[in-house]
Amino acid sequence: MTFVQIFVAFAAAVTLFYSIGCLNRMTSATDHSIRAAYVLIAAGAFGEVAAIFDGHIPGIAETLFIGGFGLLDFIDRRCPMRRPLPKLPTDKEARPCLPPTN
The per-residue pLDDT for 43 is: 92
What backbone torsions phi and psi does residue 75 show, to the nearest 5 degrees?
A: -100, 125
Is 42:14 a contact under the CB 8 Å cutoff? no
Residues in CB range of 35: below 8 A, 6 or more apart: 23, 26
Distance CA 52, CA 69 (A): 17
Residue 11, burial from CB neighbour count under 10 angstroms (0-12, 13-18, 19+):
buried
Residue 27's pLDDT is what? 87
Q: Say yes or no to pLDDT of 99 above 60.
A: no
Q: DSSP character for 84? A: P
pTM for the model = 0.66
Q: What pLDDT, on the 0 to 100 scale, is given for residue 51?
A: 92
The pLDDT tens digits of the residues spanning 24-80 come to 988 888 888 888 988 988 999 899 999 999 988 888 898 888 888 877 776 655 555
- C-alpha 20/C-alpha 7 separation (Å) is 20
Higher pLDDT, 15 or 73: 15
Asked whether residue 15 carries a pLDDT value surpassing 80, the answer given is yes
Q: Report the C-alpha gap between 51 and 93 in whole angstroms.
A: 55
